[in-house]
Amino acid sequence: MLSIRIDDENTTVTNSTCQTQWTNKTSELFGIIYVSQLKHYPDFDCDKFGDRVVERISKGLQGQAVEEPTYLFGMVERGDTLFFMEQFIDGRRMVSPTIDDIEELRISNRMTANFLPSHGCIQFDKLNSVRHVIIALLYFYAVNGYKLTICKHCGRWFATKSLKELYCSKNSSFPGYERYTCGEAVKRIKDKLERKRLSEYERLHLKAMEYGVNSRHSEVFNSFCQTCSTFKAELKHGASVELLQAYKDYLYDSENVRPKYERIKNW
């Protein structure tokens, strides 16, 4: 049997059968569950889920080996949670759950538990599946005006009250910046890349001035300016790990921005 206690900061899920508790940030929990399930079922296909269930049951009936289950909050997991989440997300990049939507989910998933009134938080007891845990969480999001969106840096789902918030509060996976949250890491990486861009800009500009407008140096300088402004325009829409890495590679490792003596030095 599971229970859940949710406030604005943290959510604690308790499994009374195995007497274990899991506490996560409320805004991150939906994304954490989703990512954990994607890791277990990387090639998951909602359309084939029903066939897999039938196949497993018939194998079981014939005494054949079936694939080992995984566990989520101490409950046996065979892809049901991911199926449920995929159906709920339904290909959207942003979900604004309403109380009516969640009420519908609650009824269709035969969730009879009601929330227990408690000061400043929502609590549900006697939940018999992870689905019900997720419905309780979605109910909290709906009641408190949270929207679910995808972090533009790490790509994970997170809950936020303002869609102006582009980045989640989980740690970045950008090499060297893992100790910062996505939002902090983006700011620091962009600052660092901007400093590098300015120093390259000055160096290439001087060369272009020295050799004149028809020189190859001018061509290199113009192409550098063009490429950097394209990267910067894209970054305004969201600084994903991949995009920042591509910009970093360009600023530090591409042919034109690297002084020749450095290339020789690195041999």
Residue 158 beta carbon to Zn ion: minimum distance, rounded to whole angstroms: 7
Residue 35 beta carbon to Zn ion: minimum distance, rounded to whole angstroms: 11
Nearer to Zn ion, 14 or 240 (CB): 240
Residue 93 beta carbon to Zn ion: minimum distance, rounded to whole angstroms: 14
Asked if residues 73 and 131 have their Cβ atoms less than 8 Å apart, the reply is: no
Residue 52 beta carbon to Zn ion: minimum distance, rounded to whole angstroms: 31
Nearer to Zn ion, 153 or 217 (CB): 153
DSSP, res 44: -
**Cα angle 159-146-94, degrees, rounded to a multiple of 5:** 60
Residue 234 beta carbon to Zn ion: minimum distance, rounded to whole angstroms: 18
For residues 8 and 21, give the distance between their C-alpha atoms in angstroms, rounded to a whole number. 18
For residues 141 and 188, give the distance between their C-alpha atoms in angstroms, rounded to a whole number. 30
Residue 124 beta carbon to Zn ion: minimum distance, rounded to whole angstroms: 27
Nearer to Zn ion, 33 or 154 (CB): 154
Nearer to Zn ion, 39 or 265 (CB): 39
Nearer to Zn ion, 14 or 37 (CB): 37
Nearer to Zn ion, 160 or 218 (CB): 160
Buried b (16+ CB within 10 A) or exposed e, 88-110: bbeeeeebebeeeebeebbeeee
- The pair of structure tokens assigned to 41 is 């079922």
Residue 31 beta carbon to Zn ion: minimum distance, rounded to whole angstroms: 8
Asked if residues 15 and 86 have their Cβ atoms less than 8 Å apart, the reply is: no
| Residues lying near Zn ion in the complex (CB under 5 A) | 151, 153-154, 168, 182
Residue 27 beta carbon to Zn ion: minimum distance, rounded to whole angstroms: 11
The DSSP code sequence of 51-100 is HHHHHHHHHHHTT---PPPEEETTEEESSHHHHHHHHHHTT-SEE---HH
Nearer to Zn ion, 37 or 240 (CB): 240
Q: Which residue from 191, 190, 225 is spatially nearest to 205, judged by alpha carbons?
A: 225
Nearer to Zn ion, 154 or 257 (CB): 154
Long-range contacts at 191-194 (CB < 8 A, ≥ 24 apart): 193/244, 193/247, 193/248, 193/251
For residues 235 and 20, give the distance between their C-alpha atoms in angstroms, rounded to a whole number. 42
For residues 234 and 249, give the distance between their C-alpha atoms in angstroms, rounded to a whole number. 16
